[in-house]
């Protein structure tokens, strides 16, 4: 369908189960195509609690230009995700193109390693507040924070407002 938006959700071991799945299911409800990108296509990753999520594509196989938005889950997956140069290049591409990036909880680590946080206003779990501030971000304690194309949330109970904000930014994007 022409004009259908397409979003890529990053995945790796020990993602926060609801922080990965609520956004994926919510966007699908909205008629938005979502692909999961992991280290290896077809691999099944497990959330912190064990909910499975299979990667549709690998980090190296995707073309960032094919996507209208990016989601980074929380949990411990960001500690792994930030180590892949392809992931950091994807984050920089999306931000450079002004495309929406959603990040929640510990996901901000990936944006810090991508070097895109200087002067940006974000939230996160309080646990990584210092890392985001040291990366140049302005940190605020709110359930859903929008700074142009960057949308952030703190923790699972923020998911409703975080995803409402992400969808609004995605639908308003060119």
> Is 7 noted as a catalytic residue in this protein?
no
Q: Which of 12, 99, 106, 120 is catalytic?
A: 106
Q: Least separation, in Å, of the C-beta of 21 and a second copy?
A: 5
Residue 14 makes contact with a second copy by CB under 8 A: no
Q: What tokens does 33 get? A: 């195509």
CA-to-CA distance for 37 and 64, rounded, in angstroms?
A: 11
> Is 106 noted as a catalytic residue in this protein?
yes
Q: Least separation, in Å, of the C-beta of 8 and a second copy?
A: 18
Q: What tokens does 156 get? A: 């699972």
Residue 163 makes contact with a second copy by CB under 8 A: yes
Query: What are the phi and psi torsion angles at 26 (to 5°)?
Result: -65, -40
CA-to-CA distance for 52 and 55, rounded, in angstroms?
A: 10
Give the binding range for a second copy (CB under 8 A) out of 6-14, 19-27, 68-76, 97-105: 19-27
Closer residue to a second copy (CB): 47 or 78: 47
Q: Which long-range contacts (CB under 8 A, 24 or more apart) does 142-149 make?
A: 145/121, 147/120, 147/121, 147/122, 148/98, 149/94, 149/95, 149/98, 149/99, 149/100, 149/101, 149/173
33, 57, 140, 161: which one contacts a second copy (CB under 8 A)?
A: 161
Q: What tokens does 155 get? A: 């923790």
- How many residues in the shown chain lie near a second copy by CB under 8 A? 18
Judged by the rule CB under 8 A, the positions of this chain that interact with a second copy are 17-18, 21-22, 25-26, 28-29, 47, 49-51, 156, 159-161, 163-164
Residues recognised as catalytic: 105-106
């Amino acid at each position: 369908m022409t004009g259908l938006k397409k979003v890529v959700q990053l995945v790796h071991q020990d993602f926060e189960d609801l922080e990965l799945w609520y956004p994926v299911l919510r966007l699908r409800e909205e008629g938005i195509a979502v692909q999961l990108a992991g280290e290896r296509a077809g691999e099944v990753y497990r959330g912190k609690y064990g909910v499975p999520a299979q990667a549709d594509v690998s980090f190296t196989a995707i073309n960032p230009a094919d996507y209208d938005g990016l989601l980074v889950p929380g949990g411990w997956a960001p500690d792994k995700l930030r180590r892949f140069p392809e992931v950091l290049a994807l984050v920089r591409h999306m931000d450079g193109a002004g495309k929406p990036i959603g990040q929640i909880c510990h996901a901000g680590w990936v944006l810090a390693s991508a070097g895109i946080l200087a002067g940006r206003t974000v939230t996160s779990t309080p646990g990584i507040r210092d890392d985001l501030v040291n990366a140049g971000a302005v940190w605020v304690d709110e359930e859903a924070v929008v700074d142009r194309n960057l949308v952030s949330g703190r923790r699972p109970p923020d998911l409703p407002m975080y995803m409402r904000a992400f969808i609004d930014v995605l639908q308003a994007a060119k």
